[in-house]
Every structure is written in structure tokens, then in C-alpha cells.
Amino acid sequence: MAKKKRSQGRKGGKGNFFGFVRPWFWFTLRLLPFVIIILACGGIFIGVKDALYADASLGIQKIEVIPADSLSANQRQALDSMLRGRNIMNADLKKVSRMLEKDPGVHHAVVVKQLPSQISVTVERRHAVACIQFVSQGNCGMVSEDGVVLDVVPAKNVTSLIIESFESSKREPQLGMKVDVRGF
């Protein structure tokens, strides 16, 4: 008959525990230099970023608008008050672009940083192609190619093409209104 083997009991359990911990210890020991390098690079990045944001020589000193006459005096003043003197790294270019595009006369505005201290604004303006009239004796709206009313003028002062849209639900053109007339 065969002999039964006795289990080792505590001795085998203790050996299994150290056998499990040893690979994790060596893995951690090998990974530690990479973690230290990553943390050091992150610290350096944050330090450089903070230094750039605090640098006084990166303040916006010049705002160039292309073409020069594309913004009104009020728009130019708002642009100057929003940007001039601020750190160029903190300037929110999308916000400036959206602010300029709220004007119905501005079709598209592109704002670009030019380091160290200049902002360039390129403006594409809308141009009136016709006048639209919603009632026979009402005012006319100067309309751009994409259907935005740029200005409201009396019908007697119009010298360009007049589009009569009496079937529209609108009665009076309003500045910045998008014309939703079928076929326009």
C-alpha cells in the first residue's frame, strides 16, 4: 500500500507569501525611476508655465487689424480694452473672435497670437447685395449674400435692387436678422 504524504503546513504557506511579494517588490523597484522622471518633468512644465504667465514682457502691446478699416471705433476700443496689457498666454482668442462675429457686418474673424507681444485680427466683412422689403410702404433691409440684414433704411433712399417679400410673416427688417425667405 502507498504511503500518505503529509502536508508541510505552515512552512509551505510562508514560502508562498514571499514568493508572491518578491516579484512585486522588484517590479516597483524598476518602475520607481520612471515615476520620478515623469513627476520631475511635470514639475518643470508647471514651473515654466507659471513663469510664462507671470512674465511682464509678454504683455500685449500691439493689436493689428487687417484690413485696418474693417472695425468701427467702438469695436476697436472694446478690443483694446479686452486685450491690451494682458499676458499674451492668457488671451482667449476664441472669445475675442466670437465677440467680433456678433456684429452683423462681420462675417468671420480670425485672431492669431504673434509672440512676444502682438495680436493679429483678420476680419472678413459682409457686403450688401440687395434690399429686402416685407411690406409695400415699410423700411428696407440691406441684405448680404448669406441673408443677414446689415442695415435698415427708408425705402425712398434705396438705389439698389429691391426684393419684395410680402408673403413673409415678418413686417419690419431688424439689424442682424437672418432672412428666411424661400428662394433667397
Pairing outcome for strands 128-133 and 140-144: antiparallel
Sheet containing 118-125: order of strands: 62-66, 118-125, 106-114
pLDDT at 14: 56
How confident is residue 15, by pLDDT bands cut at 50, 70 and 90?
low
Higher-scoring residue by pLDDT: 33, 182: 33
Kindly state the average pLDDT of the residues 70-97: 89
pLDDT at 120: 93
Q: How far apart are CA 83 and CA 112, in angstroms?
A: 12
pLDDT at 162: 81
Which range among 1-10, 17-26, 108-117, 152-161 has the greatest average pLDDT?
Answer: 108-117
Kindly state the average pLDDT of the residues 67-73: 89
pLDDT at 177 over 70: yes
pLDDT at 42: 93
Q: Do the beta carbons of residue 173 and residue 152 sit within 8 Å?
A: yes
Q: How much is the mean pLDDT over the chain?
A: 83
98-106 contact pairs (CB < 8 A, 24+)? 100/71, 100/75, 103/75, 104/148, 104/149, 104/150, 104/175, 104/176, 105/150, 106/70
pLDDT at 10 over 60: no
Express each pLDDT in 104-152 by its tens digit. Answer: 889 999 999 998 889 999 999 999 888 888 888 888 888 888 888 888 8
One-character DSSP codes across 61-77: -EEEEESTTSS-HHHHH
pLDDT at 94 over 90: yes
- pTM of the predicted structure, to 2 decimals: 0.65
110-113 contact pairs (CB < 8 A, 24+)? 113/88
Pick from 23-32, 47-56, 66-75, 79-88: least confident: 47-56
pLDDT at 58: 82
N-terminal to C-terminal alpha carbon distance within the chain: 104
How confident is residue 174, by pLDDT bands cut at 50, 70 and 90?
confident
